[in-house]
Amino acid sequence: MNKNFKRDLTPWLFLAVPLVIYLIWVIGPMFYTFYLSLTKWDGLSRPEFRGFYNFIKLFKDPVFYTSLKNNFIWIGFFITVPVAVGLALAMALNRRVPGSKFFKASFYSPMVLSLVVCGLVWSWIYNPAQGLINAVLRSVGLDYMAKGWLSDPDLVLGSVITVAVWRQVGYVMILYLAGLQGVDTFLIEASKIDGANSWQTFRHVILPQLQPITVVVVVISIIDSLRAFDLVSVMTRGGPFNRSSVLANYMYIQSFNNYRMGYGAAIAVILFMISLGFIIMYLGQINQEENY
């Protein structure tokens, strides 16, 4: 009995320290954020309980709706462009062709850079006076196409999302390259013997086998788009006229620039609930597939 007790206790002793750290640094602040969302607090004085006042005010805030809409635009781009381009690159580089390792490293290299560095570099590229894009356009006689990419309200959101998509493509490519290693080559050979062309083989043989990795890619892309903050903060701070604002950036501005910690916490709770909804959908899909 004593030996069994020690055997059962040993794993928990190893887990004790990380569990305590996780409770203190993750679970505790999460519940405290829920509490702060029900208060008025400037970060210094004592929090004043206000009930659902922050949420009522939030749902009347036009900037909140703009930020929410922009987050869903990010999601739309993230589950289409990087997934399609990343899959195409993975299919092209999965073969043994000269230079494939170099191209894999090249396409993945943006993921090595932090989002802050990417934001700074692309801010220089987008610079209306000395930026690379406008310089190239002027050099080929297309001066009329030179724009203030980060100052034009109609272009700013697309310009920032382009940087995020550029960085995300390499990551999606690597995930699909890993997934392609598990594709049954015998089925591919059988489809060719049956007379299937390359597109038919891809659509009816390879793509169905990549469904699990596609689900993972889509969920990761959704979560990454909801967490969008660094690029917006570095490149535009949500401007001009809040046209590039996203929920995480708006939360930061309200909390640490305007000292409305309760209001910022309410935005954080909304963002958490949206993310949780997508995670529950993902887990439900995985559970359904396992039961099937």
Give 211-232 pLDDT, tens digit per residue: 888 888 888 888 889 889 999 9
Which residue from 177, 179, 170, 163 is spatially nearest to 111, judged by alpha carbons? 170
Q: What is the pLDDT of residue 127?
A: 93
Whether residue 292 has pLDDT greater than 70: no
Each domain of the chain, given as residue ranges in start order, spans 61-291
CATH 3.30.110.40 fits 61-291, yes or no: no
Q: What is the pLDDT of residue 143?
A: 86
122-134 pLDDT tens trace: 999 999 988 999 9
Question: Per-residue pLDDT averaged across 34-50, rounded?
Answer: 92
Which residue from 164, 179, 159 is spatially nearest to 110, judged by alpha carbons? 164
**Percent with pLDDT over 70 in the chain:** 96
Interatomic CA distance for residues 40 and 38, integer angstroms: 7
56-93 pLDDT tens trace: 999 999 999 999 999 999 999 999 999 999 999 999 99
Q: Which carries the bigger pLDDT value, residue 6 or residue 244?
A: 244
- Do residues 177 and 94 lie in contact, with contact meaning Cβ atoms separated by under 8 Å? yes
Reported confidence tier of residue 161, pLDDT bands at 50, 70, 90: very high
Whether residue 153 has pLDDT greater than 70: yes
Whether residue 1 has pLDDT greater than 60: no
131: which 2 tokens? 């930026």
Q: What is the pLDDT of residue 71?
A: 95
Instruction: Tell me the sheet residues that pair with 49.
Output: 39
Mean pLDDT score across all residues of the chain: 89
